[in-house]
Chains A and B, each alone.
Chain A
Amino acid sequence: MIEVKNVTKKYGNFTAVNNISFTVNDGEVVGLLGPNGAGKSTTMNMITSFIEQTEGTIEINGYDTIKKTKQAKKQIGYMPENVPLYPELTVKEFVTYMAELKLVARAKRKENVQEVLKETGLEEVQNKIIKNLSRGYKQRVSMAGALVGNPEVLILDEPTVGLDPKQIIEIRSLIKNLGKKHTVIVSSHILSEISQVCERVIILNKGKIVAIDTPANLEEKTKEQNILYLTVEDPEEKMSSVQSKIKDIKEISMVKDNEDGTKQYKVISEAQKDVRKNLFEVLPKEGITIFELKKAEASLEDAFIKLVETTEEKQESKKQKEDKNKQESKDEKKEKKQKEKANKQEEKEQKKKEKEENKDKGGKK
């Protein structure tokens, strides 16, 4: 179990991670999602005690990362971003070295290394020098380094970057399998990956948590409208009149003319309303033949972009307000100063007058 409580990381004046809190339960696969520079890697570096947080606490299976660093580190297998490896070592040497660093008992070491090599599909290349391996294999070696020693918690920082589609699928299924035995945090900016692998998603933006939810819920929450793609044969050009016959349709627009007599349309309705049934009833009556009807899945991508954009808008509007306030207060200050000046001048003038009057009086005396 990983417990992150009110964690903040500051570099000078720059706040990389701003007061985030979340928990990851045992045996859960959680995705850490966010655009570049959102604070994903920083968060992971803090969980693995590579760097220390400025504020807040992190506990790994009950061990505080600052007070009980060694115990906390023992719980974790970490695959850093950009797969750092020792290129001069062979695969087996590297994994063995990682096992030694993780204090795996000597008696179990060999067995454990072979297990991990098998699990990551590296048995055949175990005696090759890492320098000569392809990117995909290097990634697996890095993964093997994280897995060795059977850590309860796995932290994988962008494990699929730079892989070809087949390798991505392999790594993904590997992560899924790992989720059965380990607690896993995966970071990525590829959303489809997260939605396939993770049970929960934490979306970060500009160092703040934007949302924590299941992928399905996130999609649901951010879906505003239902989109259908409809391919029809419409000899009498009646498609445009359909909209008036089905109330729930908000918009019908042509996407493309297939030039074989069929045309593709995009039908938009409100999120809660499904017009597919209505379409099947109405269109044949109009003499329109349906060739294809498919629902456009609202993707996690949409959810992500929307969440990120809305937070950015909020932050911007906040900033603008603050700027306005600042300006207003500045203006007020200026006015005050001017008033004060004016008052002073008045006072001076009054004093002068008084003096003159006094002089006059004195002269009269």
Chain B
Amino acid sequence: MFRSNPTRQDVMAESSNTPNPGSFDVGRLLEQARTFLAFGEEMRQCSEHLQENAQGSADWSSALRQHFEQFRTAVAATAGDPEVNPELARLWTLILDTWQRTAESMESASIAPPANWSSAAWQAYQQTQNQYLRLLQRTASEALDLMEQRLSESAASGRNIDSLRELYNLWVDCNEESYGRMLRNAEYSELSGRLLNALLRCYAPGETPS
């Protein structure tokens, strides 16, 4: 009945544990460290702007609004060309970067890249990816609105934010909240499914190694 019913434990291969899952990717950490530094620089400029332009609380709110408007504009600029400011772009394209890395690793691990990069399927994939990027940009902009609102609320209630890390954590919370709303709606479900399907259509079934 059994394929094997060993009596000697030492003949039992531990083959199921042998593939190396890979050591820690320091690159991932460095990338996020650079992103944190970019965020810090943005916030340093914001703080400078507030110091220079805000004397009373009304000034402060208006100066905050002005700076966040600039922040949103800078983020929008990176949507057109992430290379303009890659670190700032990474602040909001994290999931797209992760997706692209996943797609690349799948190519190298399992399937050959498409033979024709100008094919209709590849163009369709690029178009879908651009739609995905636009959705992420909208979410990033909503996250900045939320952060501006939270900062104003905390200033109004006399609650101080004393460290850059605290600000960063607030930024993460706002992005998670805004991203989470997007994730749960039907548009995201449809678009993320379409993104994967479009990538898969770039590869002819049956041409992958068996």
A and B part of one assembly: no
Could you list which residues of chain B lie within 8 angstroms of chain A, going by C-beta atoms?
none
Could you list which residues of chain A lie within 8 angstroms of chain B, going by C-beta atoms?
none
